[in-house]
Amino acid sequence: MEFIGRPEPPTGLRRALFRLPIGLYRARLGWLLGGRFLLLNHIGRVSGKVRQVVVEVVEHDRTDGGYVVCSGFGPDADWYRNLRATPEVTVEVGTRTIPVTAKPLTAEEGGEFMARYAPRHPKVAIRLVRFMGFRVDGSEADYRAVGRELPFVRLAPRG
């Protein structure tokens, strides 16, 4: 694994494109994205206002209903920092809204999740890690190393 450099968060038109899936959820069409994505409703750490972002589900635990997501823009992503400040949030998956508590995972846990994600989605994984600023050889060890560098979060259902 080689670190190339952290990508800049999107601005302008690129930001608008990244935010398009939020409109699907607002129109009650989140089910079109299936279970691969979720809408994270979080609280701004400065403003106190509800903020939204659509993130890819790295893994879904069907036994307890929890989700694992990753901040591809690193620990400085606003949504990740907001979760650290206020971990009690809600997620929307399909047409369901679920109250969850966000728990940051350890670097080792992140490595394990990334190592499991890559073989399930090999084409997407190679593009994602490149987008996130890493170059990998495609091996499990390389994906595990990338996962140790990125912040992963478990979204555990409350109640």
Determine the pLDDT at residue 55.
Answer: 96
Determine the pLDDT at residue 24.
Answer: 93
Determine the pLDDT at residue 81.
Answer: 97
Contact predicate 91/154, CB 8 Å: no
Go through the domains of the chain in sequence order and give each one's CATH number. 2-106+153-157 (2.30.110.10)
Determine the pLDDT at residue 148.
Answer: 96
**Measured torsion, CA atoms of residues 20, 23, 28, 33, in degrees rounded to the nearest 10:** 10
CA terminus-to-terminus distance, the chain: 40
Using CA atoms, how far apart are residues 142 and 111, in angstroms rounded to an integer? 9
| Phi–psi pair at 16, nearest 5 degrees | -60, -40
The 3-class SS string of 82-131 reads: HHHHCCEEEEEECCEEEEEEEEECCHHHHHHHHHHHHHHCHHHHHHHHHH
Determine the pLDDT at residue 2.
Answer: 77
Closest CA to 80 of 110, 45, 106, 118: 45
Is this structure's pTM higher than 0.85? yes
Q: Which helix (H) or strand (E) holds 157?
A: strand 152-157
Ranges in the chain, pLDDT < 70 = none
Using CA atoms, how far apart are residues 11 and 6, in angstroms rounded to an integer? 15
Determine the pLDDT at residue 49.
Answer: 97
